[in-house]
Amino acid sequence: MKYKEEFCIMPDNPPYWSNKRFYGSERHEAFEGRTGNRNKSIEDGLVIFTTPQLHTQGRFSIHKSHKKWEETTHMQEIAKKVYMEYYNKTEEDFYERYRNRFFN
Ligand SMILES: [Zn+2]
């Protein structure tokens, strides 16, 4: 099964996520919540592809236990670092663009 390649600058991080779509995967945007963060994540390539189980369904999933997810995978820290490196931005630039770095 072929998927249209989606812009993603996140590193691969098995077993938690892939930086490419795979069969049955769901996309998660690294920064969501406040208006605009989701679209900015997509625009900047700060997206990951994971299983429905790890995305929303399991007890240990991004949307059900985001604190534990973040403590375990450091997804948002990685996304911030990758953003700064890829776009040659400072931490201040990052926080300016993504005012709310947490979920909800
Ligand atoms: Zn999500």
Give distance in angstroms: CA of 32 to centre of ligand 1. 8
Count of beta carbons in the 10 Å neighbourhood of residue 81 = 14
Q: What stretches of 61-104 show up as alpha helix (H) in DSSP?
A: 66-73, 75-87, 91-97
For the record, the structure tokens of 69 come out as 């997810």
Task: Tell me how far the alpha carbon of residue 92 lies from the centroid of ligand 1, in angstroms.
Answer: 25
pLDDT on residue 44: 97
Cβ contact 76:101 at 8 Å:
yes
Distance 56 CA to ligand 1 centre (A): 7
Q: How far is the CA of 38 from the centre of ligand 1 (A)?
A: 9
**Residue 5 identity:** E
Which amino acid, one-letter code, is at 96? Answer: E
* Ligand 1 centroid, distance to 104 Cα (angstroms): 10
Q: What is the mean pLDDT of each run of 10 residues along the chain (104 residues)?
A: 79 97 96 83 97 97 94 96 97 86 48
Q: What's the CA-to-centroid distance between 89 and ligand 1, angstroms?
A: 25
Asked if 10 contacts 47 with a C-beta cutoff of 8 angstroms, the reply is yes
Helix (H) or strand (E) holding 42: helix 37-44
Sequence length of the chain is: 104
